[in-house]
A and B are shown apart, each in its own frame.
Chain A
Amino acid sequence: MSLAKHKVGSDLPFILIMAVIASTYILLILAMIASDLSFTNSSQIFLALKSPEIQYSIKLSLFTCTVSMVLSIIFSIPIAYFLTRYKFKGSKFIDAIIDIPIILPPLIIGLSLLILFQTGVGKFIEQYVSITYAIPSIIIAQFVVACAFSVRTMMVTFNQIPKRMESVAMTLGANKREAFWYILIPEAKNGIFTAASLAWARALGEFGPILLFSGATRMKTEVLPTTVFLEMSIGNIEAAVAVSLIMIGASFVVLMLVRYMGESVF
């Protein structure tokens, strides 16, 4: 029998099974959004948007998310720089610490922040700036989680840029600061944008730490997830769904922006 003769089996069953498994999860997400949409209509969304409480929570969410995003970028760039550009004792320990806010249940982060601001240091800060159950607490709660995601994104970005690029700049006369500003940061600009977008979107969805650390006080510490919680607790499901759809829309816009930046960081 000739070994050269061989009939290759059809690829169709394999592709079909893979497609069915893959599409099930995507359909689940789409079905959730479609259900939300079917539960409300445009007039209810506009009515929700006119409510002073929801307008306040939209404005506060935009403000706190933007501040958290800026803080996340400011902190994540040096952390990622040291973790990717230097080998030092304890780097794995620090690397693991970064993941704590990602892995911990959100409520524990809120509880830990609450306790932190009951310690001597926390009370000292509170003498000058009101943190707990005030707007700064929302920013801190969002920042703690968003920054961890931002660090991970910046580490992937910096790891993709060859260290030799900075080394060559240094042979041309640059010091580390100049190599960082003139070479590394321009090369990382898409990654920085991705990190900022993810930090913003992550901050927008933060609820657990905010609930414990900032409370859920109407027109005071009310961000969009808080509004969903408060509206649900008084049985106003239409308003809760309308706010949820606003958040889904905002998150989707951010995620599409990240993809259109064209860098495969995530």
Chain B
Amino acid sequence: MVEFQNISIKQGVFSLNNISVKLDDDTYYCLLGKTGSGKTTLVEVLCGLRKFNSGSLFINGIDASEFKPGERDIGYVPQDLILFNQMTISDNIGFALKIRKVDKIVRDQRIKEVSEMLGISHLLQRLPRNLSGGEKQRVAIGRAIIFQPAILLLDEPFNALDYVTKQELFKMLKSIKSKMKVTVLHVTHNIDEVKNLAEKVLTIENAKIEMQERNEFFETRNFLFNEEVI
């Protein structure tokens, strides 16, 4: 479980005030908000890439506010994917295991399992620059889940992908979530992604965050969302 306790972030004119929210295990959350509302900031706070001014962050009941990014049990897929250009796809996917000094035989076996699950086992010896957008997306997800994190963070992962690829990735993410029992926090602008994936919806508005069940969100805010957020 992840708990933001009264977290405030202030940077220049931008601020998020007293953010308090609990994310349950094994639940798919979509995080919505206008451009510049602080979605990415919140994600970066969670994975330890950004400091906050006050409050506490708990992960699995432990105060993780001062934990280094790699100690937080979080798999992160950034908006711009940031694949490691000089490494093969196999090395990209296996990076977290290499850092954890996992034996090469075990590592290769795990890379094989993950790449088969994501349908990219034929790409393992290629370099990222030779991949399509959808393939890169799968690699970035594979790299983030290989060490079986408790939380998977996806920051606007499907930008600039075509409809068919998106549908395939929706299926893939549902499958990952059910197999790994992972908590997913998925930042998006896209209502289609919320419809297809979300179990609960978080909305950032006016520097505050609100959580709703998926159905409640569509009953109360779908209209507002279409009008104001997209």
Contact = CB atoms under 8 A, between A and B. Distances in A.
Contact of B95 (A162, A167, A169, A189): A169
Contacts of A174: 70, 95, 99
A95 interface: no
Given A167-B49, A168-B76, A173 B96 contact: yes
Given A164-B82, A186-B86, A171 B74 contact: yes
B69 A178 contact: no
B87 A170 contact: no
Nearest to A168: B82
Contact of A172 (B80, B85, B143): B143
B100 A173 contact: yes
Interface in A160-198: 162, 164-165, 167-175, 178, 182-183, 186-187, 189
B38 interface: no
Contacts of B69: 167, 170-171
Interface size bucket, B side?
A: 20 to 34
Contacts of A171: 47-49, 69-70, 72, 74-76
Contacts of B72: 171
A168 B95 CA distance: 11
Residue from the set A170, A183, A186 with the largest chain B CB neighbour count within 10 Å: A170
Interface size bucket, A side?
A: 10 to 19
B143 to A, nearest CB: 7
* Chain A facing B: main interface SS: helix
A176 to B, nearest CB: 10
Given A165-B84, A171-B48, A182 B95 contact: yes
A173 B70 contact: yes
Contacts, number: 61
B93 to A, nearest CB: 10
Given A170-B68, A171-B76, A174-B70, A165 B96 contact: no
B147 interface: yes
Contacts of A186: 84, 86-87
B78 interface: yes
Interface in B81-127: 82, 84-87, 95-96, 98-100
Contact of B70 (A175, A182, A187, A189): A175
Nearest to A162: B82
B48 A172 contact: no
B85 to A, nearest CB: 6
Given A164-B80, A183-B84, A189-B86, A175 B95 contact: no
A95 to B, nearest CB: 24
A173 B82 contact: no
Interface in B60-79: 68-70, 72, 74-76, 78
Residue from the set B49, B70, B74 with the largest chain A CB neighbour count within 10 Å: B70
Interface in B6-53: 47-49
A173 B99 contact: yes
B86 A187 contact: yes
Q: Which 10 A-B pairs have the closest CB atoms?
A: A173-B70, A186-B86, A172-B96, A171-B76, A173-B99, A170-B69, A171-B69, A168-B82, A171-B47, A174-B99
Interface of B: 47-49, 68-70, 72, 74-76, 78, 80, 82, 84-87, 95-96, 98-100, 143-144, 147
25 contacts: A162-B82, A167-B49, A167-B69, A169-B95, A170-B69, A170-B70, A171-B47, A171-B49, A171-B69, A171-B74, A171-B75, A172-B70, A172-B96, A172-B99, A172-B143, A173-B96, A173-B99, A174-B70, A175-B68, A175-B70, A178-B99, A186-B84, A186-B87, A187-B84, A189-B86
Given A167-B69, A186-B84, A187-B86, 5 more contacts: A169-B95, A169-B99, A170-B48, A170-B69, A171-B74
